[in-house]
Amino acid sequence: MRNTFFLLFIITVFATCQSSNNAFDSSGVFEADEVIVSAESMGKLISLKIKEGDVIKKGTVVGGIEDNNLLLQKGQLQATIDALYDKKVSPEPQANIYSQQIINQNANIATLKAQMKVLQVEQNRISQLVAKDAVPAKQLDDINGQVSILNQQIAAAETMLGTLRQQIKSTQSTSAIQNKAILREQKPLEQRIAQLEDQIQKSIIVNPIDGTVLTKYMEENEVATVGKPIYKIAKLDQLILRAYVTGNQLNQIKVNQKVGVTTGSDKTAKTVQGTIIWVSSKAEFTPKTIQTVDERSNLVYAIKVLVPNDGYLKLGMYGDVSFQSASTDKN
C-alpha cells in the first residue's frame, strides 16, 4: 500500500513538472527602442536640464551648446550684406543734371520757335513788297537766310533734346548693371547665413521622442563634439519582449496576434497581454541564453512582442510567452 502511494506521488510530481515545463511557448528578455541623443554642433555644453529617470516629452528643449562664435559669424555676414547696399550706384544725380538740361533745351527751342514766327511774318511781308517792286530783292534773300539758320538751330536743339533723353536711359541702364553685379554677391552671403542659422539651431538640444532618460553621458561645461553622445532615452511605457520560437511553432503565431506574457515566478508571477509586432523571416541558431520548448531544434525564429508597461517591467527582465490567448481572441 505504501509502495503504491509512493508511486502515485512520483507520477503526480512528474506530471506537474511536465505541465510546468510546457506552460509557456517561449521565453525572452525585455528591451526597448533606445535613442542616443548626440551633439550636432561643437562647443561647451552650457546647459543640460535632465537627470537619469526623467520622463521627457518629444520636442522639449533640454539644453544647449555655446554658439557665440556662430552668432558673431552671422553678424559679420549680415554687415557685409548691408555694406553691399552702400556700394550701389544711384543714377539720380546724373539723371537730374540731364533732366535740367532737357528743361533748358525745351526753353531754348520754345524761344527759337517764337523767333521763327516773327521772322515768318516779316518774310511774308517782304515777299509781298518784293513782288510789287517796292523793296529790293536782297532784303528777301537776307530774311530767307535768317529763317534757314533759325530752322537749323531748332533742328539742332531738338536733336540735343533727344540725346539728353537717351543719356538718361543710358545712365539708368549702366547703374542697373553695376548694381546687379554688386548685389550678385548677396546670394552666396545669404546662403552662408542660412548654414550658420542651421548650425545655431543644432546647438539647441531638443528631445526627439517621448521617453525616460536611461543614461546621462555628459555634464554642463563639458565640451561637446559633433556626434558625441549626450544622453540615452527610451520609451518605457511599452517594452519589447524579444523571444524565440521553433519552426514548428510558426504556424501558431502571426503579426498583430495577442499573446500572454508572464514575468516573475510562483506568487510574484504577473501576466499581461502583449501583441506580436514582428516575426523574423530568417532562422538563426538558438541563443545560449534562450531556451525554447523544443530543445532539439538548432534553429529558431526571433519574434518581438509589444507589452504595455505600468512600471513593473524593467529592461533586461525575463518574460515567458504563451500563445493560448491567441485562440481565445479569435473566438
Burial code of 222-240, b = ≥16 C-beta within 10 A, e = fewer?
A: eebeeeeebbbbbbbeebb
Q: According to the model, what pLDDT value does residue 287 have? A: 64
Q: What is the pLDDT of residue 296?
A: 45
Distances (CA, A) of 110 to 103, 114, 116, 153, 270: 11, 6, 10, 11, 110
pLDDT at site 325: 53
- In angstroms, the CA 30 to CA 318 distance is 6
| pLDDT number for residue 11 | 35
3-state secondary structure of 53: coil
Give the type of residue at 13. V
Q: How confident is the model at residue 286 (pLDDT cuts 50, 70, 90)?
A: low
What integer pLDDT is reported at residue 126 of this predicted model?
86
**Average per-residue pLDDT for the chain:** 85
> Residue 176: what pLDDT?
86
Average pLDDT over residues 293-308: 78
236-262 confidence digits (pLDDT tens) = 999 999 999 988 899 899 999 999 999
Are 251 and 277 contacting, i.e. CB atoms less than 8 angstroms apart? no
Highest mean pLDDT among 3-7, 263-267, 311-315: 311-315
Q: Is 181 helix (H, G, I), strand (E, B) or coil?
A: helix
Query: Could you please report the per-residue DSSP string of 130-159?
Result: HHTTSS-HHHHHHHHHHHHHHHHHHHHHHH
| 43-93 tens-digit pLDDT | 999 999 999 999 999 999 999 999 999 999 999 999 999 988 888 888 888
pLDDT on residue 248 = 87
User: Of 19-33, 183-197, 210-224, 256-270, which range is least confident?
Assistant: 19-33
Q: Which residue has the cell 527759337?
A: 112
| Residue owning grid cell 524579444 | 242
Q: Which residue has the higher pLDDT, 199 or 266?
A: 199
pLDDT in tens, 165-210: 999 898 888 888 888 888 888 899 999 999 999 999 999 999 999 9
Better pLDDT: 42 or 327: 42
- Looking at per-residue pLDDT, the higher value among 232 and 13 belongs to 232
pTM summary value: 0.61
The SS3 assignment for 185 reads coil
Share of the chain above pLDDT 90, in %: 52
Looking at the predicted structure, is the pLDDT value of residue 1 above 50? no
Q: Over the stretch 99-157, which tens digit does the pLDDT of each residue have?
A: 899 999 899 999 998 998 988 888 898 888 888 888 888 888 888 899 899 899 999 98
Residues paired with 34 in a beta bridge: 234
